[in-house]
Structure 1
Amino acid sequence: MNATFHDLKEASVFITGGGSGIGAALTEGFLAQGAKVAFIDRSDATAFTTAMEAKYTDAPLFIQGDITDTKALHAAIDRAVASHGPLNVLVNNAANDMRYDAMEITEDIWDAQQAINFKAYFFACQKAAAAMAPKGSIINYSSITYMMGSAGMAPYVSANAGIMGITRALAREWGPKGIRVNAIAPGWVLTEKQETMWATPEAKAAFLQKQCLQEFMQPQDMVGGTLFLASSASAMMTGQTMAIDAGVVGTG
């Protein structure tokens, strides 16, 4: 990350799922800008937090919890505000892109997938907006899967379409308060989870052919666009979706 966004220095930032994958890259990206970062993660991110403190001297605030528990999610945001002051930035990043045969999806599977991939996004936005400094920025991570209509991922694809809906609705509703709400739709980012579970050589080769840029995407590729949307560099941008996908889809 070469760009410096000076207004992010000392900014209060809260990230969901900030201890691994894309979220960990985002946590480090904001720390590198001098921001005060808090994140919630269901898994133990103590080792990651210690590594970030050693590298940047100011450790991120790690709060272990489940974002599908709305009370726990709201309590985590309260802790972030108590430690770092009113929020300047919320990044809704945590998600679960499990694969299912549509004919085998049960009501329990559907509800669980919507809880993490959609419901938690809205209630994080709601709490953050109430705890946000003037001219705050909310960034919701969606996915190009809903633009592509990806098969085998109906709950996840549906949730990501919904994220675009709440992004536009909340941008309209909260714009008068000075709160911007935008979304990022990543392409296939090869996190450790993706490499372990789904990124077979055949799948990777097939997807690479859909990209304009012939390089596999990494978590660090998501940092620059997120910092841009968080900063005053995008001051008049709201209700928008920015695809960062090496050129698979078009949003115009």
Structure 2
Amino acid sequence: MMPSADFADLRGASVLITGGGSGIGAALTEGFVRQGAHVAFIDIADGPSMMLADRVEKALGRRPLYLKTDLRDVEALRASAAKAAETHGDVTVLVNNAAWDERHDVADVTVEFWDNNLAVNLRPHFFTAQAVAPGMKRAGGGSIINFTSTSYLINHPDMPAYTTAKAGILGLTKGLAGKLGVDGIRVNAIAPGWVITERQKELWVTEQGLAAHVAKQCIKQVMQPDDIVGTVLFLASDASRMLTAQMLIVDGGFL
């Protein structure tokens, strides 16, 4: 269920979301459109992204801008950020959501795999922020929201490159917050717990495993993509205007 809160300052805001075509990203794209924001989203998968844009337009009468981009290509990423600003005005909300949570064994990791993994899970967070920061300065401020994960906090054993990237995102968040705060740009991180997306269902969810996880949460409900939207809207809005350099954990109280 989408959050009921209405953030008036997000109406007309120029929002850019990476990985916005599926999973949590798709919920974020819809959530910001529902707030009246002008939304551009970056993804690489045409099918789900076009279906999302069609569905949102049909339901809400406003179509998010889909920008097909391989996040590993920094120049293409910069071009897409520029296209979002050209279409909707200077980006004042950036949500670095995109990630690739492929499982991998320590013994199987090659240099090429490691570099490719971080080129998806860490490097784009910096270069997208770098691309939109000048526009945020012109606009008098903005909000950058970086997605990390609780996976590195629970010592997840099956994806060391991914958890390295997710821990690195917190350091990046704090460093950018320190640098950009003087220009009115806030930089925060959000760490979701186990959110049950279609990808999770297809690859890793079992009835027993999910039940055991939810049993350890304070809130005994399965987390859905929509459950992340409200926190991101709060971080994007002026309701959190003095909140920066922080990480908010949204995991139902698992930790």
TM-score calculated relative to the size of structure 2? 0.96
Report the alpha carbon displacement of residue 131 of structure 1 after superposing the two structures with TM: 2.3
Q: Structure 2 CA distance, aligned partners of 1:202 and 1:154?
A: 24
For residues 226-252 of structure 1, the C-alpha deviation after alignment (integer angstroms, 9 at most, x for no partner) is 000000000000000000000012xxx
Q: Secondary structure at the match of 2:92?
A: strand
Q: Is 1:222 the equivalent of 2:224?
A: no
| Partner AA of 2:36 in structure 1 | G
Q: How does 1:58-137 map to 2 (within 5 A)?
A: 58-132=62-136, 133-137=139-143
Q: Structure 1 CA distance, aligned partners of 2:84 and 2:210?
A: 38
Report the alpha carbon displacement of residue 206 of structure 1 after superposing the two structures with TM: 2.1
Q: How does 1:4-83 map to 2 (within 5 A)?
A: 4-44=6-46, 45-83=49-87
Report the alpha carbon displacement of residue 177 of structure 1 after superposing the two structures with TM: 0.8
Q: Structure 1 CA distance, aligned partners of 2:13 and 2:163?
A: 32
Match of 1:211 in 2: 217
Report the alpha carbon displacement of residue 200 of structure 1 after superposing the two structures with TM: 1.3
Q: Structure 1 CA distance, aligned partners of 2:116 and 2:71?
A: 12
Q: Secondary structure at the match of 1:131?
A: helix
- Give unpaired runs (5+ residues) of structure 1: none
Q: Structure 2 CA distance, aligned partners of 1:211 and 1:160?
A: 21
| Partner AA of 1:40 in structure 2 | I
Q: Structure 2 CA distance, aligned partners of 1:210 and 1:135?
A: 39
| Partner AA of 1:173 in structure 2 | K
Q: Is 1:181 the equivalent of 2:187?
A: yes
Q: 2:208 aligns with which of 202, 205, 224?
A: 202
Match of 1:156 in 2: 162
Q: Secondary structure at the match of 1:160?
A: helix
Aligned residues: 249
Match of 2:239 in 1: 233
Q: Structure 2 CA distance, aligned partners of 1:6 and 1:85?
A: 18
Q: Structure 1 CA distance, aligned partners of 2:122 and 2:192?
A: 16
Q: Secondary structure at the match of 2:41?
A: strand
| Partner AA of 2:44 in structure 1 | R
Q: Structure 2 CA distance, aligned partners of 1:229 and 1:96?
A: 23
- Give unpaired runs (5+ residues) of structure 2: none
CA RMSD of aligned residues (A): 0.8
TM-score calculated relative to the size of structure 1? 0.97
